[in-house]
Structure formats: structure tokens, C-alpha cells
């Protein structure tokens, strides 16, 4: 599996299980698979939905800050990668 860095976690809301991610490069779409990796975080999951400014979106790109429901605890400064099959 190939990985492309697309952003960084800027906040995590533990009660909601939502990570705020600032996209720095590339694009992210619903249906993509992401990997969140940091000092103590390392998990992979599909993107089931995402929001920008509390509005559901299908695609986001560089400069966007998106909210993603995540399956595990994410931490500020964790890196976010889009995973693609080789």
C-alpha cells in the first residue's frame, strides 16, 4: 500500500470521536482510506463522511479544515496519509 501525506490533525474532540484535520496537499474524498500516525497513534480507516464548517462535503483539498469521525484517539500534530493500493 502506498501512502501520501495529505494533512495534520489540528484538534480532537474525544466525546464526539472527531478529528479536525488541516489538509496541506492533495485531495481527500469520501470513500478514501486514511492512516493517522503520530507518537502514540497509528490506525487506518475509511472516510465515511467529512464536514467543512459543519456542512457535509464529498471532496476537500489543500487549505481546507475538515472534521472526520475517527475510530481511535487522534492527537494534535498526528500526520494524516491517504492510503492507495499499489
pLDDT digits (tens, 9 = 90+) for 41-57: 999 999 999 999 999 99
Q: What is the pLDDT of residue 39?
A: 95
32-66 in b/e burial notation, b at 16+ Cβ within 10 A?
Answer: bebbbbbeebeeeeebeebbeeeeebeebeeebeb
Q: Is pLDDT at 86 greater than 90 in this prediction?
A: no
Residues pairing with 81 in the sheet: 5, 35
- For the chain, the C-alpha Rg in angstroms (whole number) is 11
- 59, pLDDT greater than 80: yes
Per-domain residue ranges of the chain = 2-84
Fold of 2-84: Elongation Factor Tu (Ef-tu); domain 3 (2.40.30)
Task: Give the model's confidence band at 1: pLDDT under 50 very low, under 70 low, under 90 confident, else very high.
Answer: confident
- The answer to whether the pTM exceeds 0.85 is yes
Is the pLDDT confidence value at 68 over 90? yes
Amino acid at each position: 500500500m502506498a501512502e501520501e501525506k495529505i494533512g495534520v490533525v489540528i484538534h480532537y474532540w474525544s466525546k464526539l470521536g472527531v478529528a479536525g484535520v488541516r489538509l496541506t496537499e492533495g485531495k481527500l474524498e469520501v470513500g478514501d482510506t486514511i492512516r493517522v500516525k503520530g507518537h502514540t497513534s497509528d490506525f487506518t480507516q475509511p472516510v465515511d463522511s467529512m464536514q467543512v464548517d459543519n456542512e457535509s462535503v464529498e471532496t476537500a483539498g489543500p487549505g481546507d479544515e475538515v472534521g472526520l469521525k475517527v475510530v481511535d484517539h487522534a492527537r494534535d500534530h498526528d500526520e494524516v496519509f491517504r492510503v492507495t493500493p499499489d
